[in-house]
Amino acid sequence: MTTPSTHELFLALDATWPPARFINHSPWLLREGAGGGQRVSAATAMAEVCESDIASAEAGMRVLDQHPLFMLKPGEDALDDWLEARTYEIVDPVAIYLKPLTRDALAVTDAEVRSDWPPDADALDLWAGGGIGPARIAVMARAGGAKTALVLKDGATCSGVAFVAIYNRIAMLHALEVAPSGRRLGFGTRLMNAAAHWATANGAAWLSLMVTRANVPANALYRGLGMTEVGAYHYRRAPKAKS
């Protein structure tokens, strides 16, 4: 089983966490985020770019009423340096994790984790409490193909939730949220196991996710579950205009 390349993982990210609109603004791919956060709002280079191309991307993002934001992938050092020279700040360095799925994942079942789409009111409330509001729920709704909301109920209480969608046999996990009262109780591990079970049952061969390096507990959780860091990226955000 061939390990997906980082390029394939970025394609899976775009498919499972899509913007409201992709805009081919050669040599850039612009994203209309509709309030759904950085991943669906950042511009990325589709080909080799020159420093003079940056102004075109900035103008395109401002037409969308979006503050200029670029996603920097491995190997884009020159672009990173040009943005640094323009006083763009680094935002949210992100680690990319990956794990192969085996049929063994099907043996791990959890009766308290429900798989369903669309998410119910309890799941929406828990997500909202973690800052995942309607604009990001709309991102989930736009994802094509197999997808689900995993909801962990501790008795009558919704204690954890996550979104999983599949693209090209890669299951991408997004928006894992555990209620404050459920932290340090293993609920994150249970949701991850449920994600592996659901993904395997729905034909995925790999489980992947992307998480900010600043989220130290989450990084520790994913490494502890046998996931391997296979890539990284970060954002560069334009300085705010002086008033």
pLDDT of the residue at 108: 82
Rounded to two decimals, the pTM is 0.96
pLDDT of the residue at 14: 98
The DSSP symbol for 157 reads E
pLDDT of the residue at 242: 59
pLDDT in tens, 149-175: 999 998 888 999 999 999 999 999 999
Return d(Cα 152, Cα 184) in angstroms, integer: 15
- Kindly report whether the peptide bond that precedes residue 27 is cis, defined as omega within 30 degrees of 0: yes
What are the strands of the beta sheet with 21-25, ordered from one edge? 21-25, 28-32, 44-45
Domains of the chain with CATH codes:
6-94+233-237 (no CATH), 98-232 (3.40.630.30)
Average pLDDT for runs of 10 along the chain of length 243: 96 99 98 98 98 99 98 98 99 98 89 95 97 98 98 92 99 98 92 97 98 97 98 97 59
Dihedral sign for Cα atoms in the order 159, 126, 212, 41: positive
pLDDT of the residue at 10: 98
Return d(Cα 8, Cα 49) in angstroms, integer: 21
pLDDT of the residue at 188: 96
The label of the residue with tokens 């973690």 reads 130
